[in-house]
Amino acid sequence: MSAQPSSPMGAPLVLFNSFTREAAPFTPIDPAMVRMYSCGPTVYSFAHLGNLRAYVFTDTLRRVMEYKGYNVTHVINITDVGHLTSDADSGDDKMEAAAKKTGKSIWDIAAFYTDAFKQDIHRLNIKDPSRWSVATEHVDDMIHYAEKIAPEHCYTLDSGLYFDVSTLPEYGKLAGAATHDATPVESRIDPVDGKRHPQDFAIWRASPKDEQRQMEWDSPWGKGAPGWHLECSVMSMKYLGEQFDIHTGGIDHREIHHCNEIAQNQAFTGSTKTGANYWMHNNFLVDRDGKMSKSKGGFSTLQSVIDRGIHPLAYRLFCISAHYRSELEFSGDNVAAALTRLKRLVMGVSALRDRAEGTIWQTYDRTALEAGLPAAAIDALTRFDAAIADDLMLPRALPLVEEVLSMKKISVDDRLRAIASMDLVLGLNLMTINRAGLRVRPADAQITEDEINAILDQRKQARADKDYAESDRLRDALAAKGVEVMDGDPLGWDWALHLG
Ligand code: AMP
Ligand code: ZN
């Protein structure tokens, strides 16, 4: 890994901190390493597209850090225990509930959906974190942590060990500074018998006396399982230290989960430090029915998008076309529009690649890519850098790729180098993907690509022979199988598969 530059490259990075509700210049605690923690998936079902938006956001944040010259340690946890069906302290453990419903073991369910999640991450070109941190592998750490905070901050009930939020004068500050339209914390928390305050939360959940849970551990508070909030405090501290740079999650976490993590962190360190200098939250992906959520059911997965013939990177492009703090509305049409934009980019870049003379554009090193570029390209890159430094303003950065593509006055290689540099942040694989790679067969397609191409070749021959009747017959034969032949398609895409 390259040495840390004495100062970051380009425009100073400014990030919006949910804790202060203000944008502030970013300075890492340790100039040699930015430390980031992202709340990870609860692996009781497939991730939905909203969940994946959260990880496109963290990946973009990480890429921006690296683009600016920082080294990054990024931890994402895998929640395989403790997350309840209600966001607070009642209801079943989501994992236990899924096991009951399917008759499978929790461990099998967790392994299956963890793999599925990682597959989605890779399909979206999201970089693997430095560490995947699995909750059930840290239960001992959680027990030790809880032992330290229990005497001063917790009380026991039959149902477990609870954190008393009144022991901290600033509990809920992260949510409390919320805008007037945010849901007040209290109204979303279900009562549990004996809790001293509605916001008190479980640190340890005792197993019911008459029930053997699939996942339970011995503890000073009896057999049971850790509360969900505990894992993130424990694992972030273990791998990133008591105070690190950035903690991310979806905006729903600002109201409860992250308030509770902060409470635990403050109890543990005996200070007012929250655990992270910046708390950053992505806004929701919504659909016509509101926020996309697993509990509502009927949600869309990445696979369902792919099954409709849409390449997963079109979903990535769709996400980065909006600012991470804005709501984003998902619809088939919106993602299809992103696919069209991606096709144009891929076509434009592949055409340049075909004409390139040098190979520098194939490196992944910003300095090498940008060295000696002509003024027009540098100007575009400077505006790109200023946009991403402005709290990751990707919607403003993205059109600069299109602008560089159309800069006829600068050489093919220089255009490629500038775009390759931008793609380090965008992560659209523009330097490697081609037209064929972008084409995805819808799940219910009745014809293979090879068959389509063979018929298209016959049709080309028929047209060369001026046998238009045969050419039309072949086009109709393809249409009967859902393949639209796109003669004169301005994108030069030749054909598209349409679902019935
Ligand atoms: P979960 O698997 O439910 O623990 O959630 C994983 C991540 O997705 C968390 O950071 C959530 O805050 C985030 N998230 C959940 N629903 C949405 C949504 N509709 N849009 C954006 N992010 C979401
Ligand atoms: Zn978390």
> What is the pLDDT at residue 176?
78
pLDDT at 1 over 50: no
CA of 260 to the centre of ligand 2 (A): 10
CA of 448 to the centre of ligand 2 (A): 43
CATH architecture type of domain 14-282: 3-Layer(aba) Sandwich (3.40)
Ligand nearest to the CA of 47: 1
For the chain, state the CA radius of gyration.
26
> What is the pLDDT at residue 493?
64
| For residues 338-360, average pLDDT | 95
CA of 249 to the centre of ligand 1 (A): 7
Every domain of the chain and the residues it spans: 14-282, 302-436, 445-497
Residue 248's DSSP bridge partners are: 38, 280
> What is the pLDDT at residue 440?
82
289 or 260: which carries more pLDDT confidence? Answer: 260
Percent of the chain's residues with pLDDT above 90: 72
Claim: this prediction has a pTM higher than 0.75: yes
pLDDT tens digits, one per residue of 65-87: 999 999 999 999 999 876 766 65
Mean pLDDT of the chain: 90
| For residues 156-177, average pLDDT | 92
Integer angstrom CA distances of residue 258 from 129, 229, 248, 271, 355: 20, 8, 9, 17, 51
pLDDT tens digits, one per residue of 112-147: 999 999 999 999 999 999 999 999 999 999 999 999
| For residues 8-22, average pLDDT | 94
pLDDT tens digits, one per residue of 32-62: 899 999 999 999 889 999 999 999 999 999 9
Q: Residue 500: pLDDT band by 50, 70, 90 thresholds?
A: very low
> What is the pLDDT at residue 3?
47
Q: Ligand 1 within 6 A of 253 CB?
A: yes
pLDDT tens digits, one per residue of 447-490: 888 888 899 899 989 999 999 999 999 989 888 887 777 776 66
Domain 302-436 has CATH 1.10.10: no
pLDDT tens digits, one per residue of 261-312: 999 999 999 999 999 999 999 999 998 777 777 666 666 999 999 988 899 9
Instruction: For the chain, count helices (H), then strands (E).
Output: 18, 16
Q: Residue 491: pLDDT band by 50, 70, 90 thresholds?
A: low
> What is the pLDDT at residue 490?
62
CA of 294 to the centre of ligand 1 (A): 9
> What is the pLDDT at residue 90?
60
pLDDT tens digits, one per residue of 409-448: 999 999 999 999 999 999 999 999 998 888 887 777 788 8
Angle at 104 between CA 102 and CA 107, to 5 degrees: 130
Q: Ligand 1 within 6 A of 250 CB?
A: yes
Ligand nearest to the CA of 44: 1
Contacts of 135 (CB under 8 A, 6+ apart): 77, 78, 79, 80, 81, 82, 226, 231, 235
Do residues 395 and 20 touch, judged by C-beta distance below 8 A?
no
d(CA 281, CA 276): 13
CA of 285 to the centre of ligand 1 (A): 9
Q: Please identify, by atom number, the ligand 1 atom nearest to the C-alpha of residue 43.
A: 2
Protein residue whose Cα sits closest to atom 17 of ligand 1: 50
Ligand nearest to the CA of 283: 1
pLDDT tens digits, one per residue of 180-230: 344 444 444 556 788 999 999 999 999 888 877 788 999 999 999 999 899
Q: Ligand 1 within 6 A of 285 CB?
A: yes
Ligand nearest to the CA of 50: 1
Structure tokens at 79: 């929640």
pLDDT at 243 over 70: yes
pLDDT at 233 over 80: yes
Q: Please identify, by atom number, the ligand 1 atom nearest to the C-alpha of residue 52.
A: 8
Q: What share of the chain is helix, strand, coil (3-state, %, to 5)?
A: 45, 15, 40
